[in-house]
Amino acid sequence: MSEDSPQSGPCINCGWCGRACPKRLLPQVLHRRLYAGRLDDARRAGLDACALCGRCLPACPARIDLPDQFAQAKNELIPPDSISGTSETNNKTTPETVVEHTGKMPVPQKQTSWTIRRIMLVWLIALAPLTFAKIGLSGWRMAIHILISCLVCLAVERAFAWLRKKQAWGGAVIAGLIFAMPLSQTVPLWMTALGAAFGMIFAREIFGGLGRGLFHPAVLGWCFLASYSGVEFSLPLETDRIWPLSLYSHEAAKCAIFYILPFILLCWKRMANIVTPAVFLAITVAIPWLYGDVYAKGFVLFAAAFILADMPTSPDTFFARFLTGIITGLLTLWFYYGRSWHNQHILFYFVLFVGIFSPLLDEFGLWLRGRYFGYARRPAHAD
């Protein structure tokens, strides 16, 4: 089943298929490149090294038939008579023919019980403490902002799903919640709706929907609203202390409840990119500590726990994720020490800026992987 099948969903870049791959490939990268018709780019990412063992299939929460997609792609590269004779019924590259000629039986794997909607439910649970705290501190008007943001994002997602004649998976609820969190209750309601719609359309839907966008919809929506004068942003925990460096402060308890524990939950369930947030926090905490300063703001922790940890918009390779955390962290510290930290939402521009270069960082990361593991191949027409 491909993404076009009603039984499967879009790739959310969770990386579970990569953990199951015995060849240490990145099946999610191969899938997205083949889905876009970029066969040569898929070969550069290691398509030729895929043994079609089928271990990525049961690991996929979206239920995408990755082995079948890879087999069809390899059929376009390998002459039929070099696989299994010349008969019409026995000339396709399938997991069965690979087992027949390699003598390696695939290890039986149990289909994961996780689905895209169950993953979204865990994200909703992780966002719940911050959501209730935001409403409690800002009043009932903040609840209206959150409701409008979620409804607008859902409406945009369903409208584009109807135009594409595909299923809407409800991921817009997560984007709507995250978008509304840093907004002040003084922001006009129409601006909340406009920013949510702008972020969903130009950061996700024009790229093809969930799992296709280059930027987080909330980040693009914030940057759009920040261009208007009078738009204010605020988050719980505006402090210069970070847990556990100040275990006995009230701010430390809020930090743990609103940001750290939800992030630990997402990482424990393997539903978050842990590399980029960890590197980002290490830089924004460790470097100031060397100068006798303990630095962390609500916007920094929020960006690390819910923006940089987002799987669909994270880079594919470890190298790209690591470098993204370094660049974003250094930009944040540069602005903190070199300029006033009054406009903390400038961090969103840094995240957006670094995201522009994610494809280039991924290409270099894939080149490093191919060189280290030895499975990179040149395209056929390059010989």
- List, for residues 320-333, the tens digit of each pLDDT value: 999 999 999 998 88
81-95: average pLDDT: 42
Highest mean pLDDT out of 8-12, 212-216, 308-312, 371-375: 308-312
User: Looking at this protein, which amino acid is placed at residue 365?
Assistant: G
Closest CA to 13 of 308, 278, 310: 310
Tell me: the pLDDT tens digits for 154-174?
999 999 999 988 888 888 999
Q: What's residue 374's pLDDT?
A: 57
**d(Cα 280, Cα 290) in Å, to the nearest integer?**
16
**pLDDT of 2 strictly over 90:** no
* Of 55-59, 73-77, 331-335, the least confident: 73-77
**pLDDT of 253 strictly over 70:** no
Q: What's residue 341's pLDDT?
A: 52
Closest CA to 173 of 125, 237, 232: 125
Closest CA to 378 of 71, 43, 38, 73: 43
| Average pLDDT of the chain, as a whole number | 79
Q: What's residue 236's pLDDT?
A: 65
**pLDDT of 59 strictly over 50:** yes
Closest CA to 318 of 372, 282, 264, 269: 372
Q: What's residue 76's pLDDT?
A: 76
3-state secondary structure of 183: strand
**pLDDT of 86 strictly over 90:** no
Q: What's residue 123's pLDDT?
A: 94
40-46: average pLDDT: 85
**pLDDT of 77 strictly over 80:** no
Tell me: the pLDDT tens digits for 92-130?
445 555 554 444 545 556 778 888 889 999 999 999 988
Per cent of the chain over pLDDT 90 is: 29
Dihedral sign (CA 45, 50, 52, 53): negative
Calculate the alpha carbon distances from 15 to 80, 305, 347 in Å.
Answer: 32, 18, 27
What is the distance between the terminal CA atoms of the chain, rounded to a whole angstrom?
33
224-235: average pLDDT: 81
**d(Cα 303, Cα 321) in Å, to the nearest integer?**
15
Q: What's residue 134's pLDDT?
A: 86
User: Looking at this protein, which amino acid is placed at residue 285?
Assistant: V
370 phi, psi to nearest 5 deg: -65, -35
Per cent of the chain over pLDDT 70 is: 76
* Burial environment of residue 203 by CB neighbours within 10 A (0 to 12, 13 to 18, 19 or more): buried
Structure tokens at 328: 């974003």
Q: What's residue 345's pLDDT?
A: 72
Q: DSSP string covering 128-148, please?
A: HHHHHHHHHHH-HHHHHHHHH
**pLDDT of 343 strictly over 70:** no
Q: What's residue 309's pLDDT?
A: 93
* Contacts of residue 298, Cβ cutoff 8 Å, sequence gap at least 6: 235, 236, 237, 238, 239, 259, 344
**d(Cα 349, Cα 7) in Å, to the nearest integer?**
38
Structure tokens at 163: 């135009």
Q: What's residue 292's pLDDT?
A: 59
Q: Is cis: bond before 244, omega within 30 of 0?
A: yes
* Burial environment of residue 39 by CB neighbours within 10 A (0 to 12, 13 to 18, 19 or more): middle
Please, are residues 294 and 246 in contact by the beta-carbon 8 Å criterion? yes
DSSP designation for 242: -
Tell me: the pLDDT tens digits for 257-307?
788 889 999 999 989 999 999 999 888 877 777 765 555 567 888 889 999
**241 pLDDT tier (thresholds 50, 70, 90):** very low
**Length reported for the chain:** 383
* Of 32-41, 214-223, 255-264, the least confident: 255-264
344-354: average pLDDT: 83
